[in-house]
A and B are shown apart, each in its own frame.
Chain A
Amino acid sequence: MSERAAERFVGLLFALSFLAGISLLFVYILGGQTQVEGVLLMICLGGIGLGIVIWAHRLMPTKIHIEPRGSVATTPEEMRRFEDALTEEAGFSRRKLLIGGLLGAFAGLGAALAIPVFSLGPAPGRSLFVTSWREGSALAPPDGLPEAVADLPIGGVFTVFPDGDTSDPNSATLLIRVEPELLELDPAAAEWAPDGYIAYSKICTHAGCPVGLYRASQHTLICPCHQSEFDVLHGAQPISGPAARALPQLPIARRADGTFVALGDFPEPVGPAFWNMTR
């Protein structure tokens, strides 16, 4: 490309940018369209960019310059003068006791500044150990009635909350109906599974995602976040994936009208582990 041709080409690119910018304004006034706006914005910006780059490459002297590079560090002479400047007036290094005292004062200030930090959140206390399930809470779908889950088909599953109240999401529980004869539970846990209805915490014991998938043919619950799989027939023990703990089972009983009530809270903390979770 000759210099004249390059100059003309760059001029053309700048003109194109101008036109694209004006067109963009018109598209906007006419109601806007995301894709057209994106393309026009590209032409507008790209024309300027390409024009400038070609200008720099073709129309500017490409001289190579050599700049000497000194040492980064200060020379010993200057360093000494720096140290003199640092210490000469205040007699800085002599007041060891005061320096220590000042550092101590700052440590105290640091402790004082922890106050706003601790205000950022409540002490965890026992909140991680409990959910809002109480003895007598009815199992009901979110904002629904207990009767809605009274008659599930075999293989059916419902997300339930205590009396349908979703205000504590960690109470989310899965009520599943399986063939009663297939269940193989501990004797204590078996009593909490009337007529093949069984309730497990929906919060994954791995990283706390909702265990959202139920494969009825295999009787497994699957967490879609990290693919942990839990065996519904065997106390929701993990059988594959990264989860290492069973989903806690909610003790439930069936009432005369076919609805379900909790006999109490989950026997152990729901959701992901923490170091002091063993009571």
Chain B
Amino acid sequence: MTERGVPERAMGWFDERTGAARVVRTAFRKVFPDHWSFLLGEIALFCFVILLATGTFMTFFYVPSGAPVTYDGPYPPLQGAEVSAAFDSVMHLSFEVQAGLLMRQIHHWTALTFVAVVVLHLMRVFFTGAFRRPRELNWIVGFGLLVLALAEGFTGYSLPDDLLSGTGARILYSVLLSVPFIGPWLASLLFGGEFPTDAIIPRLFVLHVLFLPGLVIGAITVHLVLLVLHKHTQHRGPLAREDNVVGRYFWPGQVFLSSGLFFLTAAVLAVIGGLFQINPIWLYGPFEASVVASPAQPDWYVGWLDGALRIFPPFEPVILGITIPSVFVPGIVLPGILFTIVALWPFAEARLSKDRAEHHLLDDPWDHPVRLATGLAILTVFGVLTLAGGNDVLAFYFGTDVHTLTVVFRWLSLILPVVVWLVAWRFALARRGAGEGTAPGPDDPETEGRRPGSAVRRNAAGGFEEVES
């Protein structure tokens, strides 16, 4: 036995060739503030890792081709049916490859969770004001990741080439067609001709498994590099100040907690993927351009777009021989406006509040009435539109007719966001007014956070006293 064990010698060998120990030691000493909401971004990252793993497995079986084949697998109702090679390969993966269905269902559930957690993470960053200087750039990168996640979801949804997914592609084609004047060109370039074409499946496949994941990996890298450069934001607390970071070291505390969280995330998604059926394409059947299923429901994160298409009034004016397509406003203008507001909010807020200082301490969501109200109002728009995307299903359950619900949703989508904005704004103002003098002013650097060593507690008589800790 030598006095240095094998791991030490291996590390020594490696370090003599890279000098890695210095860098890794610095990384080990990065401080992570402790708050549950900071884990949302991590869970999103873990979801992406699970998507890569399950997705890679599926690419070994998936055939990206719309070429017609006759189904002769073990699922009796479809035997002898003419289906696309893509549909056939997903049927093969689901019924004949062992654990194939498990991997497919975990992938789909993880995709739904991924977008959800990305949205929650965005809400956390928004409502606590974590996007303020110097993090505006990282907000934009994160926004880009949201758009990429939506694009990944949509392209993936279309790949099994079942009856529902083809309908989604068809609606995308129609929305592209409505882009002013270059619409027919755009739609033709993306789809390789007039819908439906043989090029759709292979193109969406390459976008889904190569192009978009490449962009996501690049954007995640930039997102994390900026995070390290800026260091973490932190909530107000006894020790937290604008010029420090309070928390646990990356190694071993955060590494253990985060890897534990990774395995727990994977565990939950594994059991959901194992027990809960999702996207049973054998029940929908293969895509046929002239057939459609009812009710047709997209994945949840596309619901708001579908809802906008459903409730927008029939409006298709012809002005000077130019037709403005009915899907143009709900399909292009509305999402464009909403996403532009979200993307540029940090700059809008800095201009509105005339606050261009660096901020590393997070706000209580109530501290900033306009931000709180705007965020909730935007969420309300998305919420109402998502519900409207299920108007046929809702009409069925409530026993009303779709037309009535559509009218209700039209009004709700206009009124409710305004109401929510006003109520949230009033409440936040009232709360801030009531707390004046006791809470530290959020924008006053002198009273930023509580000073270390001072705390207030309530005594037996009901009064307040300062204690030294």
Residue positions of A touching B, CB distance < 8 A: 28, 31-32, 34-39, 41-46, 48-53, 55-57, 60, 62-73, 117-118, 120-124, 127-128, 142, 159, 166, 169-170, 172, 202, 205-210, 212-213, 223-229, 238, 240-245, 271-278
Q: How far is the CA of A190 from the CA of B180 in the complex (A)?
A: 35
Q: How far is the CA of A66 from the CA of B33 in the complex (A)?
A: 10
A275 touches B290 (CB 8 A): no
Q: How far is the CA of A262 from the CA of B3 in the complex (A)?
A: 94
Q: How far is the CA of A226 from the CA of B168 in the complex (A)?
A: 12
Q: How far is the CA of A38 from the CA of B274 in the complex (A)?
A: 4
Could you list 6 A-B pairs, sorted by A, with CB under 8 Å? A38-B274, A38-B275, A46-B264, A159-B290, A209-B171, A245-B316
B window 72-131: CB within 8 A of A: 98-99, 101-102, 105-106
Give the number of residues in B that approach A within 8 Å (Cβ atoms): 100
**Which A residues touch B209, using CB under 8 A?**
none
A208 touches B244 (CB 8 A): no
A206 touches B327 (CB 8 A): yes
B239 touches A66 (CB 8 A): yes
Name the CB-closest residue of B to A277.
B323
Q: How far is the CA of A142 from the CA of B288 in the complex (A)?
A: 11
Name the CB-closest residue of B to A51.
B260
Is B31 on the interface with A (CB-CB < 8 A)?
yes
Question: Which segment of B150-158, B191-199, B441-449 sits at the interface?
Answer: B191-199
Among B184, B273, B309, B360, which residue has its beta carbon within 8 angstroms of that of A38? B273
Q: How far is the CA of A215 from the CA of B110 in the complex (A)?
A: 39
A169 touches B267 (CB 8 A): no
A28 touches B194 (CB 8 A): no
A56-B101 contact in complex given A50-B260, A124-B185, C-beta closer than 8 Å: no
B190 touches A120 (CB 8 A): yes
* Interface SS majority for chain A: loop
B268 touches A42 (CB 8 A): yes
B268 touches A128 (CB 8 A): no
Question: Which segment of B10-18, B291-299, B365-373 sits at the interface?
Answer: B291-299
A274-B310 contact in complex given A28-B98, A66-B31, C-beta closer than 8 Å: no
B403 touches A240 (CB 8 A): yes
A64-B260 contact in complex given A72-B229, A72-B358, A121-B191, C-beta closer than 8 Å: no
A275 touches B325 (CB 8 A): yes
A56 touches B294 (CB 8 A): no
**Which A residues touch B268, using CB under 8 A?**
42, 46
Q: How far is the CA of A53 from the CA of B178 in the complex (A)?
A: 52
A224-B296 contact in complex given A42-B271, A56-B256, A60-B256, C-beta closer than 8 Å: yes
**Which A residues touch B167, using CB under 8 A?**
209, 225
Shortest distance between the CB of B65 and any CB in chain A (Å):
18
Q: How far is the CA of A208 from the CA of B292 in the complex (A)?
A: 11
B323 touches A273 (CB 8 A): yes
Name the CB-closest residue of B to A202.
B290
Name the CB-closest residue of B to A224.
B294
Among A64, A166, A228, which residue has its beta carbon within 8 angstroms of that of B246? A64
Given contacts A63-B248, A128-B194, A272-B177, 11 further A-B contacts (CB under 8 A): A34-B101, A42-B274, A49-B266, A52-B259, A56-B252, A166-B290, A224-B296, A229-B403, A242-B327, A244-B315, A245-B326
Is B324 on the interface with A (CB-CB < 8 A)?
yes
Q: How far is the CA of A63 from the CA of B106 in the complex (A)?
A: 37
Among B105, B174, B190, B260, which residue has its beta carbon within 8 angstroms of that of A271? B174
Q: How far is the CA of A36 from the CA of B181 in the complex (A)?
A: 54
**Which A residues touch B134, using CB under 8 A?**
72-73
Shortest distance between the CB of B102 and any CB in chain A (Å):
5
**Which B residues touch A36, using CB under 8 A?**
274
Among A28, A34, A42, A274, which residue has its beta carbon within 8 angstroms of that of B184? A274
**Which B residues touch A62, using CB under 8 A?**
248, 253
A117 touches B316 (CB 8 A): no
**Which A residues touch B101, using CB under 8 A?**
34
**Which A residues touch B191, using CB under 8 A?**
121
Is B7 on the interface with A (CB-CB < 8 A)?
no
Q: Mark B316-360, 1 if CB is under 8 A from A, else 0.
A: 101001111111001100000000000000000000000000101
Among B231, B247, B313, B330, which residue has its beta carbon within 8 angstroms of that of A65? B247
Q: How far is the CA of A272 from the CA of B192 in the complex (A)?
A: 18
